[in-house]
């Protein structure tokens, strides 16, 4: 009887340890990606926040400066400086919105994307190699986990920004 009770209490402990290990791995991943992004930004003469905004514009653009500000969680005055730098160095264009001539949209200038892709090629190659060791079902599970984790991060960020 004692061995049954002891194995039942061991399961929650193992689960807590596994969950803690995942959280710790995500923290380490966050740090490593931050360091990688900092190195990429340094090579391109972009601040970390500039690179983040450029990525958001590339992924979601064209979009308005206010939409970018909401996505990035940045104050309009801060965003203006970032957009000035990105435009000055040929990463984005500010254009009149075709539906509202008073509004401006931010459009990525994709001519320079090869520079960014080259700097991330080491990580992208490593990711391809890592993913090749997983089945399609495992990759789907990992993608779902990461999507849900990113959504949780957005929710936590929004809650902190709002309160």
Predicted confidence at residue 7, as pLDDT, reads 61
Query: Which domain covers residue 63, as residue numbers?
Result: 45-109
Number of domains in the chain: 2
> 135, 54, 62, 157: which is closest to 104 by C-alpha?
62
pLDDT tens, position by position, 9-22: 889 999 999 999 99
Half-sphere exposure of 107 (CA within 13 A, CB side): 11
Of 94, 109, 124, the domain-final residue = 109
Q: Please check whether residue 144 lies inside any domain of the structure.
A: no
Q: 145 falls in which pLDDT band (50, 70, 90)?
A: very high
Give yes or no: residues 103 and 50 share one domain: yes
Give yes or no: residues 61 and 5 share one domain: no
The pTM for the full model equals 0.83
Give yes or no: residues 51 and 68 share one domain: yes
Of 109, 131, 151, the domain-final residue = 109
Give yes or no: residues 39 and 49 share one domain: no
pLDDT tens, position by position, 46-80: 999 999 999 999 999 899 999 999 999 898 899 99
Q: Please check whether residue 84 lies inside any domain of the structure.
A: yes
Give yes or no: residues 25 and 73 share one domain: no
Alpha helices in 44-135 (DSSP H): 48-60, 65-72, 76-88, 113-119, 121-131
Give yes or no: residues 50 and 37 share one domain: no
Give yes or no: residues 97 and 64 share one domain: yes
């Amino acid at each position: 009887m004692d061995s049954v009770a002891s194995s039942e209490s061991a399961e929650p402990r193992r689960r807590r340890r596994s969950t803690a290990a995942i959280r710790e791995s995500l923290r380490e991943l966050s740090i490593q990606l931050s360091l990688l992004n900092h190195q990429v930004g340094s090579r391109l003469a972009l601040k970390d926040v500039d690179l983040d905004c450029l990525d958001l514009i590339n992924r979601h653009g064209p979009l308005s400066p206010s939409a970018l500000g909401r996505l990035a969680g940045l104050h309009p005055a801060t965003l203006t400086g970032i957009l000035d730098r990105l435009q000055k160095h040929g990463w984005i264009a500010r254009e009149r919105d075709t539906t509202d001539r008073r509004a401006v949209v931010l459009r990525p200038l994709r001519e320079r994307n090869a520079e960014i892709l080259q700097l991330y090629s080491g990580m992208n190659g490593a990711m391809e190699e890592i993913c090749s060791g997983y089945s399609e079902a495992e990759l789907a599970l990992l993608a779902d986990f990461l999507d849900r984790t990113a959504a949780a991060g957005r929710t936590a960020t929004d809650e902190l920004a709002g309160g």
